């Protein structure tokens, strides 16, 4: 059965960053959670609406928020607050119908390394009744100089890898995107005591998951169809970085070595604040959540404006007509895909915490 994705794009600009509205709006974590639950409930409603109309395909409905849309006002979220959000959203998502996907972008987390990590949660609703949602932690691998910064006492909290973008190695005019990726992998906080695999091991996030390499994910629908999803955050996508391509190639290599089925179809998800799409950097058909760059080649079917949201100043939700999931762009990946059909190959969620 062919798979189609109904995309819902949530535009919340920069959330409550530098917003006077936030100062009189009550408890931050609870407001943020209530807002996310409202967005998720809307996504489920739009999913069930299409199913009720009848379809000869398998439907995925995916909500993607723009970069910074969940940014808080005067301070970043603590790691403990981040874990609480993960726990609450996991519990809430258990009640969702199958094939609801969420790209919750993006949250400012003060990590244990003392830096602000621009963080995204990718969530898949349970494939079966009474199952467990699959949650993956992603974050922006290199910052932009104009990304929001929070002031502590003095100076401002540093962004993750803020010093890296001023380093001699990064500014080398001969640095290729492959060379950049090698530099990033070598200095990745995943290789330190600050690794999410360690710090999020007591949450519902899937850690040390063979189905993920940073922004690249191998997912499975409720019918068992396997898809390749690449998620990039803003400047990760630009012409010279191409980090989505590199993440995806690394995931394919990992899956191939493990004898896992490599998906032949997929989607490319770009969450950003102001970045243009580079066709050569796409792994598959793209959907973008960006306040300044609305999706092209998608037919809008519904629009919902939230004038007085629980979190943020203004929000607008754009729903698009379901679109068939197409083959991944092998030419851009610069490699032949090797597909293994293993009997009983599953993306299991039985080991997730309950």
Q: pLDDT (tens digit, 9 = 90+) per residue, 195-207?
A: 999 999 999 999 9
Per-residue pLDDT at 96 exceeds 70:
yes
28-42, 46-60, 169-183, 316-330: lowest mean pLDDT where? 169-183
Q: What is the pLDDT of residue 70?
A: 98
Per-residue pLDDT at 152 exceeds 80:
no
Per-residue pLDDT at 98 exceeds 90:
yes
Per-residue pLDDT at 350 exceeds 70:
no
Query: By the 8 A CB rule, do 215 and 138 touch?
Result: yes
The DSSP result for 5-61, as a single string, is EEEEEEE-TTTTTT-SGGGGS--HHHHHHHHHHHHHHHHHHHHHHHHHT--SSEEEE
Mean predicted confidence (pLDDT) in 256-261 = 95
pLDDT tier at 154 (50, 70, 90 boundaries)? low
pLDDT tier at 341 (50, 70, 90 boundaries)? very low
Residue 318: partners with Cβ closer than 8 Å, 6 or more residues away: 8, 9, 11, 294, 295, 300, 302, 303
Residue 174: partners with Cβ closer than 8 Å, 6 or more residues away: none
Place of tokens 């330190």: 192
Residue 347 has a CB neighbour count (10 Å cut-off) of 19
Query: By the 8 A CB rule, do 227 and 221 touch?
Result: yes
Question: Is the entire prediction scored with pTM above 0.75?
Answer: yes
pLDDT tier at 26 (50, 70, 90 boundaries)? low
Q: What is the pLDDT of residue 178?
A: 87
Per-residue pLDDT at 277 exceeds 90:
yes
Q: What is the pLDDT of residue 334?
A: 77
Per-residue pLDDT at 174 exceeds 80:
no
Torsions phi, psi of 301, nearest 5?
A: -115, -20
User: Residue ranges of the domains in the chain?
Assistant: 3-333
Mean predicted confidence (pLDDT) in 96-109 = 98
Residue 4: partners with Cβ closer than 8 Å, 6 or more residues away: 55, 57, 58, 59, 60, 322, 323, 324, 325
pLDDT tier at 325 (50, 70, 90 boundaries)? very high
Torsions phi, psi of 222, nearest 5?
A: -65, -25
- CA distance to 85, 196, 200, 219, per residue, from 135 (Å): 12, 13, 11, 11
Per-residue pLDDT at 302 exceeds 70:
yes
Per-residue pLDDT at 279 exceeds 50:
yes
Q: Which residue has the higher pLDDT, 164 or 126?
A: 126
pLDDT tier at 21 (50, 70, 90 boundaries)? low
pLDDT tier at 27 (50, 70, 90 boundaries)? confident
pLDDT digits (tens, 9 = 90+) for 65-92: 999 999 998 899 999 999 999 999 999 9
pLDDT tier at 353 (50, 70, 90 boundaries)? very low
């Amino acid at each position: 059965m062919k798979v189609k994705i109904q995309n819902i794009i949530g535009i919340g600009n920069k959330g409550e960053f530098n917003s006077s509205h936030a100062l009189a709006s009550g408890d931050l974590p609870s407001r943020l959670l209530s807002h996310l639950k409202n967005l998720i409930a809307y996504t489920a409603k739009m999913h069930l609406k299409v199913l009720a109309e009848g379809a000869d395909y398998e439907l995925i409905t995916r909500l993607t928020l723009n970069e910074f849309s969940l940014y808080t006002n005067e301070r970043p979220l603590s790691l403990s607050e981040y874990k609480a959000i993960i726990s609450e959203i996991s519990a809430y998502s258990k009640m969702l119908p199958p094939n609801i996907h969420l790209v919750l972008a993006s949250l400012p987390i003060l990590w244990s390394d003392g830096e602000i990590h621009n963080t995204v949660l990718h969530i898949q609703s349970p494939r079966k009744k009474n199952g467990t949602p699959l949650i993956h932690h992603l974050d922006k691998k290199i910052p932009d100089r104009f990304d929001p910064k929070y002031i502590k006492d003095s100076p401002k909290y540093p962004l993750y890898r803020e010093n890296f973008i001023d380093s001699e190695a990064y500014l080398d005019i001969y640095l290729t995107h492959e060379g950049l990726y090698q530099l990033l992998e070598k200095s990745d906080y995943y290789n330190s005591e600050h690794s999410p695999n360690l710090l999020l091991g007591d949450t519902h996030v899937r850690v040390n998951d063979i189905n993920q390499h940073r922004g690249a994910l191998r997912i499975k629908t409720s019918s068992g169809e396997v898809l390749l999803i690449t998620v990039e955050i803003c400047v990760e996508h630009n012409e010279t970085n191409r980090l989505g391509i590199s993440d995806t190639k690394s995931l394919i290599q990992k899956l191939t070595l493990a004898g896992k089925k490599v998906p032949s179809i997929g989607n490319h998800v770009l969450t950003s604040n102001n970045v243009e799409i580079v066709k050569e950097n796409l792994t598959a058909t793209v959907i973008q959540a960006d306040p300044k760059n609305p999706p092209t080649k998608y037919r809008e079917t519904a629009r919902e404006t939230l004038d007085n949201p629980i979190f943020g100043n203004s929000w607008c939700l754009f729903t698009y007509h379901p679109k068939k999931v197409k083959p991944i762009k092998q030419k851009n990946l610069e490699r032949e895909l090797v597909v293994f059909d293993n009997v009983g190959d599953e993306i299991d969620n039985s080991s997730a915490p309950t």
